[in-house]
Amino acid sequence: MPSPTRFWSELKNSLQDRTNAGLFRSRRTWDHLSPRLVADERGQQLVNFGSNDYLSLSWYHPSPCTPSPCIDGIPENPATREGAGASPLITGSTREHDELAKEIARFEHEEGAILFSSGFAANVGVVSSVAGSDDIIFSDRLNHASLIDGCRLSRAKTIVYPHNDLEALQKLLKQHRHEGRRAFVVTDSLFSMDGDVPDLKVMRRLIEENDLIGILDEAHATGVYGVRGTGLVEHLAAESDRWIRTGTLSKAVGSVGGFVAGPKTLIDWLTNFARSYIYSTAAPASQLRRTLAAIRKLETMSIERDTLRSNAINLRQALRELGLCVGGADSPIVAIYATSVGEVMAWSHRLRERGLLVPAIRPPTVPDDGCLLRISMNTSHTSDDLTSLVDAFR
């Protein structure tokens, strides 16, 4: 079985070439002291000519009861500053970014982590920076738009395999693997519309046997799967140094932003080559503090995760007993398939009349033959809520 060493050493060598050319980039951490002053890691104060905060409004607070002295709505206390004012490699990275990245790395049991402005940006940035025009990508037919766009931007040859059909994937690998210098499988872990998951253990075997790297979007699985809540790889015990896993802070974490946790080489690579990271403003500080607390909390919520999934199993069973075509196994995304756009819209409308909001999902979000009602469950739903839902379908 080939080892993934070649992939990682190629990344390392390219990074070394960058370093030799004086082009290697790494994130600096800045303390923003006032609208005009920053301090570097050693505490040296500098007048900041590196921000896009042209009117100093990242410091503006509309409330007159700001907890610190305030001149024309601009407080002197940096803790109340909002916008980062610049992209992460210019002056946008602060202690809060550093702390959150370290916390995510600890949570994921990885060497490091990198923050993106959204999960969409993380996916686009990862796929388009690790794959190139000499490579081949095998991509699930129902992948999220951000993975699809990442494949397009990478310029790699992309072969789409039928949804979660790993036998079909195996056949396609036999036919096409040799067409790419490097090869990738790209997939959602928990599919956002259909609520189902790939068999990651089988996929890991295919990845190992065919010398692939797997890019796995854990967006909806973070917080939902795994005892610690890190996602489907943890839940299925499918760990491998051939996965590159992406995540979002906007679903179960309840905030906004995307991330990748992984070995230092990967984090250095993304810092240097992921354009959606390099050329986009860093996240605001208040959001980062909240996110950090949410991740710590999420890690302790295994009982809630179990409840959520057992409620999802029960709901699916009740809906199937009514003769409905229901997707997935135990995830909190429960898809109910309709036969046409008209039918799915009518269902959604009638549920709404009964006080139940269940969005209808139509093309192009899903393929033409895939109209569905998407029920997203959460731990605040009561058993009465779930009974009302089943009664409405009945």
Give dist(CA 297, CA 265) in Å, integer.
29
Min dist CB 321 to ligand PLP, Å, is 29
The binding track of 248-277 with respect to ligand PLP, each residue x by CB under 6 A or -, is: x-x-------x-------------------
Interface of this chain with ligand PLP, residues 107 to 166, rule: CB under 6 A: 118-120, 123, 144, 146
The residues with which 212 forms a beta bridge, in sequence order, are 183
Q: Looking at beta carbons, which residue is closest to ligand PLP? A: 119
Min dist CB 255 to ligand PLP, Å, is 9
Min dist CB 245 to ligand PLP, Å, is 12
Q: Of the listed pieces 19-27, 68-76, 214-222, 382-390, which binds ligand PLP according to CB under 6 A?
A: 214-222
Cβ-contact 130, 155 below 8 angstroms? no
Site size with ligand PLP, rule: CB under 6 A: 14
Cβ-contact 367, 141 below 8 angstroms? yes
Give dist(CA 49, CA 308) in Å, integer.
49
Looking at the Cβ atoms of 91 and 192, the one nearer to ligand PLP is 192
Looking at the Cβ atoms of 75 and 229, the one nearer to ligand PLP is 229
Cβ-contact 282, 93 below 8 angstroms? yes
Residue 13 token pair: 């060598």
Q: Which of 51, 93, 139, 192 binds ligand PLP (CB under 6 A)?
A: 192
- At 314, give phi and psi (nearest 5°): -65, -40
Q: What is the residue-wise DSSP string for 173-185? A: HHHHGGGSSSEEE
Helices 264-273, 119-130: crossing angle, 10 deg rounding? 100
Looking at the Cβ atoms of 91 and 246, the one nearer to ligand PLP is 246
Give dist(CA 144, CA 156) in Å, integer.
18
Min dist CB 249 to ligand PLP, Å, is 7
Min dist CB 182 to ligand PLP, Å, is 23
Interface of this chain with ligand PLP, residues 296 to 325, rule: CB under 6 A: none
- At 39, give phi and psi (nearest 5°): -125, 140
Looking at the Cβ atoms of 38 and 292, the one nearer to ligand PLP is 292
Q: Which of 100, 219, 260, 326 binds ligand PLP (CB under 6 A)?
A: 219
Q: Of the listed pieces 55-63, 64-72, 106-114, 217-225, which binds ligand PLP according to CB under 6 A?
A: 217-225
| H or E element at residue 129 | helix 119-130
**Which residues in 321-334 are b (16+ Cβ under 10 Å) and which e?**
eeebebbbebbbbb
Looking at the Cβ atoms of 51 and 118, the one nearer to ligand PLP is 118
Cβ-contact 260, 245 below 8 angstroms? yes
By the rule CB under 6 A, 223 interacts with ligand PLP: no
Residues found near ligand PLP in the complex (CB under 6 A): 118-120, 123, 144, 146, 188, 192, 217, 219-220, 248, 250, 258
